[in-house]
Amino acid sequence: MNAVLSVAILGLGLSALYALASLGIVLIYRGSGVINFAQGAVGLCAAYIWFELHINQGWGYPTALLMAVAAAAAVGALIQIGLMRRLRSASSLARTIATLGLLISLQALVILRYGTNVNVVPSALPTGAWTIGDVTFPQDRVILISIAFALSAGLWWIYRFTDFGRATSAVAEDQTLSAAVGVSPDVVATVNWALGCSLAALAAILVGPIITLQASSMTTLVLAALAAALIAHFRSFPVAFIASVAMGVGQTILTRYTTQPGLAAAAPFLVIVVVMIVRGQAVPLRDHVLARLPAVGTGRLRPPLVLAGVVGTIVLANLSSDAWIQSFGATFALSLFMLSFVVLIGYVGQISLAQWPLAGFGAWVTGRLVASQGVPLLPAIVIGILATVALGVVIALPALRARGIKLAIVTLGLGTALELMLFQNSTYTGGLSGTAVQLEIAGWNFDAGTHPDRYLFVTFGAFVLAAISVTNMRRGLVGRRMLAVRTNERAAAALGIGVRSVKLYGFAVAAGIAALGAMLFSFAVGIVDYTEFSSFHSILYTCLAFVGGIGFITGPLLGSPLAPGTVGTQFGTVVLSGLATYMSLIGGVVLILSVLLNQDGIAKDLATSARQLSSRLGPRRQPRQSAVRRRLAEDSVDGASRTRTRVRPSTLAVDRLSVRYGDAVVVDDVSLAVRPGQVIGLIGPNGAGKTTLLDAVTGFTRIASGRVTLNDDDMTRCSPVSRARTGVSRAFQSLELFEDLTALENIVAATDPTSRSCYLRDLVHPAPLKFSAGVLDAIREFQLEQDLDRLASELPYGRRRLLAIARAVANGPSVLLLDEPAAGLSGEETRELATVVRRLARDWGMAILLIEHDVEFVLETCDELVVLNFGRVISRGAPSEVRGDPAVVAAYLGGETKVQSPSKEVRR
């Protein structure tokens, strides 16, 4: 027992590193809402500043320490002032990419100056020990953890009891409101960035003598501190400290008592995965709003460009030197790998930082099959791709409960664990010399060293075939599903789109593409060094895909030349001597500039320029929605008087339903029923529980007690997707449109078939856009004929709201739930909408439950009103009865209110 305790005490040094680093991460997040992935790189730079001043220049330890910490604080302040302040309204992806660009740039600077060698540095702390009984306490570990504890306690007190701490909390809650009361969000964020980076510097300098000073290991260790910050919800200093102590001690014990290589180093990253799976949400909460992701391409296949690429590749293979041909082949191979980012991040919106280690797993399976089992290359490649697809699905499982930046952290943890436990274990990778793999199929050798022209043709052909499959997928039903999930998971689920299936499919396809690209890239010269499949390279390639255009097929071709080993390196070696050495630094700087100036990537600018040039040189292409207009025109002539198909009659019943958030009862024992052809209005003051009731009915909020039935079939425990497919549709209060799709695609998304055969078919031949009678009726009912070609994001607010309702009714649901449908509409538009709602009930036979604050609209439209206050029903009945109820007047109307009588046109 004493031996275990002694080992645990030794782990306090690592615990201090995690604690100081995680406290800095929490500080920065509380002050600016940014998770700083560059925290370790800032600390690394500060440690080398101290190393330069103290070791190389002979400065005193305290002076060198103060200068290094001050430099880190200045860097933190500059990051906020020069970068993050300009990205205040940018997406979380853009801000994350910015911190990753800082990580790449700062680490590249250190490597350029000091290399990757291990530097053993002296400690200013006493190295003796205190002995209590049979247990030895190293003095430096005790002092380090005491410093971390004191800082944790001090920060907790400052941020809980001082004006600055309260100002930081206010800014974290609402920057606009804070600014309105005189608190500057910029000042608060700048101070927190400076303090957070100072803690990173202090951690790296104080703990450097224990873990040694090395560029790559220091950043990896500090990234592990994300686990402690994550456990603390990026808010609690004491929890971050306790989690850091537990991780550092646990990691040290694992190092001493386990024989599995890499397990101890990977433990913090595995903790990240477990925490997110346990804590995550299968369905995003109502306040989860995904900020705008980079633009995506249309998926239109352009044969002239493909032909030009083929001709250019042939010319290149015949006129260039072997070195240039090999570099272009490597560029195509890496572009093929980076095409996986277009699928996963560009189309599905899942931010994964594990793609390169995941692809490396496929290369490892294939390489070991060829080298140790004698399996021919082609079947080994197929097995490797299938194995990677399977692992990709496993990695996708956390994506079912995490999203956005938290998913990025989870995938970073998984990728790093794979790197530490597999790729850095020479027992599994063929020894220190790597694995020998010959690129040869049926006697035909296409090794890059001996046959660079063949290697070029193979990599180019593989990229083109994969790119065509991805463009097919983008244009098909699967592409619409992906973009729907990327834009808004709640709205997609409410339309019956299988969000889980789309995510798993996206991870699987991206994994297969990534594996093939990684194989062609790493097998190029016959020897595979699996240590190259690191999380740092994964971060680098993710960022370069962002620079090129992460939503465009051509984006990887534009971003990959900035990567080491590609045509950019060759250019730097031959044309600009020595430039290749600076490729990582150049890539990081270009990335930061791209985030500031062009978050959609280079490909978006080229596509825009190409469209402008095409419009000047030739006639404008007819939009594909013209077929819809022809159908609408034909119906207006031939079927103007036709009767619409009535929906399947169904009755929605809510029986004694209650919803609780902790101890708070938000909906309390509510019962109601909505029958075919009936419009029920749900009214009440703000905070009465109306939208929460709709969330519970549609499956987005857990029901504490009670039942929800459709035609007496209990669907209380059904998912939102299954409820939508049974005929319950919803239009959200916040619209939640698919901003990257056109108005027509938004409507069609609600009527797309739910079969899974499209997941394979669309890769080869996407089905043309189909529109049912319900789609045509919805377009005509809401007069959207002139808006079909426009993106949802381009429509004015009133048209957007009508589009949201049209999408909800296009599939002919039996029950329609409308949350404030008249909000933001003009008086005339509101009256027209009231007429349409009555028609949906009368002519279509829908059962409609609507929430609305426009009292006149509710009284004119509804057959019956149900009034909620503090989650309970306080009145129900006909509009004429409810509007005079004293309880309603007091709780909702706020006094006697004169309301016009319902018009005959609406009520008939």
pLDDT score of 482 more than 80:
yes
| CA–CA dist 881, 884 (Å, integer) | 6
| In a shared domain, residues 235 and 330 | no
Burial class (CB within 10 angstroms; exposed 0-12, middle 13-18, buried 19+) of 790: middle
Has residue 647 been placed in a domain? Answer: no
Structure confidence at residue 905 (pLDDT): 41
Other CB atoms within 10 Å distance of the CB of residue 157: 12
| In a shared domain, residues 48 and 177 | yes
| CA–CA dist 662, 239 (Å, integer) | 21
| In a shared domain, residues 253 and 343 | no
H-type alpha helices, 431-476: 452-475
| In a shared domain, residues 234 and 338 | no
Has residue 274 been placed in a domain? Answer: no
Has residue 884 been placed in a domain? Answer: yes
Digit-coded pLDDT (tens) for 665-685: 999 999 999 999 999 999 888
Provide mean pLDDT across the span 871-877.
Answer: 91
Last residue within a domain, chosen from 223, 257, 291 = 257
Please report which confidence band the pLDDT of residue 709 belongs to, taking 50, 70 and 90 as the band edges.
very high
Domain CATH number, residue 387: 1.10.3470
| In a shared domain, residues 426 and 538 | yes
| CA–CA dist 83, 591 (Å, integer) | 12
Closest residue by Cα to residue 141 from 7, 11, 252: 11
Last residue within a domain, chosen from 581, 611, 635 = 581
Provide mean pLDDT across the span 22-46.
Answer: 90
Tell me which H or E stretch contains 742: none
| CA–CA dist 553, 301 (Å, integer) | 10
Structure confidence at residue 130 (pLDDT): 80
Closest residue by Cα to residue 467 from 615, 356, 603: 603
| In a shared domain, residues 570 and 495 | yes
CB 320 within 8 A of CB 576: no
| In a shared domain, residues 795 and 707 | yes
Provide mean pLDDT across the span 198-220.
Answer: 82
Q: Any idea which residue has 């990257």 for tokens?
A: 740
Has residue 600 been placed in a domain? Answer: no
Last residue within a domain, chosen from 554, 581, 608 = 581
Asked whether the CA dihedral 401, 403, 409, 413 is positive or negative, the reply is positive
| In a shared domain, residues 320 and 251 | no
| CA–CA dist 514, 361 (Å, integer) | 10
pLDDT score of 606 more than 80:
yes
| In a shared domain, residues 315 and 250 | no
The per-residue b/e assignment along 405-441, b for 16 or more CB within 10 angstroms, e otherwise, is: bbbbbbbbbbbbbbbbbbbbeeebbbeeebbebebbe
* Helix, strand or coil, per DSSP, at residue 705: strand
Query: Considering the chain, what is the average pLDDT of its residues?
Result: 86
pLDDT score of 42 more than 90:
yes
Number of domains into which the chain is organized: 3
| Residue that wins the pLDDT comparison between 403 and 841 | 841
Contacts of 711 (CB under 8 A, 6+ apart): 650, 651
Contacts of 238 (CB under 8 A, 6+ apart): 152, 153, 156
DSSP character at residue 443: T
Instruction: Name the maximum alpha-carbon separation found in the chain.
Output: 98
3-state secondary structure 555-587: HHHHHHHHCCCCHHHHHHHHCCCCHHHHHHHHH
Structure confidence at residue 896 (pLDDT): 47
pTM of structure: 0.87
pLDDT score of 836 more than 60:
yes
The range of the structural domain enclosing residue 176 comes to 2-257
Structure confidence at residue 126 (pLDDT): 79
| In a shared domain, residues 787 and 852 | yes
Lowest mean pLDDT among 110-114, 398-402, 505-509, 866-870: 398-402
Provide mean pLDDT across the span 213-242.
Answer: 82
Digit-coded pLDDT (tens) for 76-95: 999 999 999 998 878 778 88
| Residue that wins the pLDDT comparison between 703 and 581 | 703
Domain CATH number, residue 791: 3.40.50.300
The CA-atom distances, in angstroms, between 713 and each of 245, 496, 680, 708, 812 are 52, 18, 21, 8, 19
Please report which confidence band the pLDDT of residue 629 belongs to, taking 50, 70 and 90 as the band edges.
low
DSSP-derived secondary structure for 770-794: ---HHHHHHHHHTT-GGGTTSBGGG
Has residue 289 been placed in a domain? Answer: no
Has residue 293 been placed in a domain? Answer: no
pLDDT score of 725 more than 80:
yes
Digit-coded pLDDT (tens) for 541-599: 999 999 999 999 999 999 999 888 888 888 877 777 667 778 888 888 998 999 998 88
Provide mean pLDDT across the span 134-142.
Answer: 81
| In a shared domain, residues 250 and 380 | no
Has residue 540 been placed in a domain? Answer: yes
| In a shared domain, residues 67 and 154 | yes
Provide mean pLDDT across the span 874-890.
Answer: 85
Has residue 604 been placed in a domain? Answer: no
For the chain, give the percent of residues with pLDDT over 90.
Answer: 39
Please report which confidence band the pLDDT of residue 292 belongs to, taking 50, 70 and 90 as the band edges.
low
Structure confidence at residue 473 (pLDDT): 94
DSSP character at residue 899: -
Token digits of residue 794: 């381009």
